[in-house]
Amino acid sequence: MTMTRRPFLRSLCGLVAGVAVAGVIGSTDAHADVLANVQKTGTLRVAVPQDFPPFGSVGTDLKPRGYDIDMANLIGKELGVKVELIPVTSTNRIPYLTTGKADLVISSLGKNPDREKVIDFSDAYAPFFNGVFGPEDVALSKVEELDGKTVGVTRGSVEDLELTKIASPKVTIKRFEDNNATISAYLTGQVQFVATGNVVAAAVNDMTKLRRLGAKFLIKNSPCYVGYAKGEAALGAKLNAIIAKAKQDGSLDAIAQRWLNAPLPKDL
85-124 residues in contact with other proteins (CB under 8 A) are 86-92, 94-96, 98-101, 112, 114-115, 117-119
Residues within window 168-227 making contact with other proteins, judged by CB under 8 A: 174-181, 183-185, 188-190, 199, 203-204, 206-208
CA 50 to chain centre: 11
The torsion angles phi and psi of 157, rounded to 5 degrees, stand at -75, 170
Give the number of residues written for the chain.
268
Nearer to other proteins, 9 or 139 (CB): 9
Smallest gap from residue 254 Cβ to other proteins (A): 14
Strand partners, 83: 44
Q: Of the ranges 69-77, 151-159, 213-221, 237-245, which one interacts with other proteins (CB under 8 A)?
A: 151-159
Nearer to other proteins, 87 or 215 (CB): 87
Asked if 41 touches other proteins (CB under 8 A), the answer is no
As to burial, measured by CB atoms within 10 angstroms (0-12 exposed, 13-18 middle, 19+ buried), residue 191 is buried
Nearer to other proteins, 108 or 141 (CB): 108
Which of 90, 54, 81 lies closest to 69 in space, CA to CA? 54
Q: Of the ranges 19-27, 130-138, 140-148, 212-220, which one interacts with other proteins (CB under 8 A)?
A: 19-27
The DSSP output letter for 264 is P
Among 30, 80, 137, 141, binds other proteins (CB under 8 A): 30
* 140 touches 222 (CB < 8 A): no
Nearer to other proteins, 48 or 74 (CB): 48
CA distance 182 to 54: 15
Tell me how many degrees the CA angle 27-122-76 measures, rounded to the nearest 5: 95
Nearer to other proteins, 38 or 139 (CB): 38
